[in-house]
Amino acid sequence: MSELAAPAADYSIVEEEAPELLGRNLLSAAHLLASATAFFFLAFLFGYFYLRSLNNAHMWHPKHVTPSQGFGAVVMAVTVISALVLRFALLDRRAARLRQWRVKGGVALGLGVAAVVVQIIEWPSLGFGPADGGYASIFFGWTAFEVMFMIGGLFWIENVLATSLRYRKTTAGSPPPGHASGDPHRTAHDVADPLSLVLPGLEAASFYWSFLAALGVVAWVILYLV
């Protein structure tokens, strides 16, 4: 059993990978994550129209179950604006306008947090709960999981932004070994140039955040307008 508790690990097999490889992997991961997210919310979309068509005991959408149009519009609009600002930040990063992208990235992150906060504030002000009919159940389930996915997307954006800010005075390829990976025991970088992953990481995060914004528009149309 002693070999299972060996104190040292052979890092040589995972160090100094080409940054282009992980960059492509990040973008592929963003596309796969968006696909998985779409399939996840298809369950709510199906549930919405299925329960609406059944309308058992005429309890699909009681008259008192009416969410605020204002809250819904604000959450949707702020999320879309956040995604647009992040796309502009990506354009700045591609053009090596580092200060501009960090400012826009911070604004996009702040707007995304504001959208989550507004959605959370809406729930206790609704005047109905998830047990008040099929529509109410779909509404709470859809918006709750949407917030959960948004928090994950914001965490991704924050990580990319924090990495860029932390090493803003560091030239490419020169951070101490292990710093960019968060593993102080490494004797070399995970990839040949860890700071080169900021751009592909931002591209992947921006793609997924734009997808979540589009999903928010769909949710707004179905839950508030249809």
Q: pLDDT tens across 77-135, in order?
A: 999 999 999 999 999 999 989 999 999 999 999 999 999 999 999 999 999 999 999 99
What domains are there in the chain, each with its CATH number? 16-50+67-225 (1.20.120.80)
- 160 within 8 A of 201, measured Cβ to Cβ: yes
Q: Minimal CA–CA distance to 93: which of 78, 106, 74?
A: 106
Main-chain dihedrals φ then ψ at residue 17, nearest 5 degrees: -75, 155
Residue 160's nearest CA partner among 78, 84, 104, 119 is: 104
Q: Alpha carbon 188 to chain centroid distance?
A: 30
Task: Report residue 9 CA to chain centroid gap.
Answer: 33
Q: Does pTM surpass 0.75?
A: yes
**Which tens digit of pLDDT belongs to each residue from 159-171?**
999 988 887 776 6
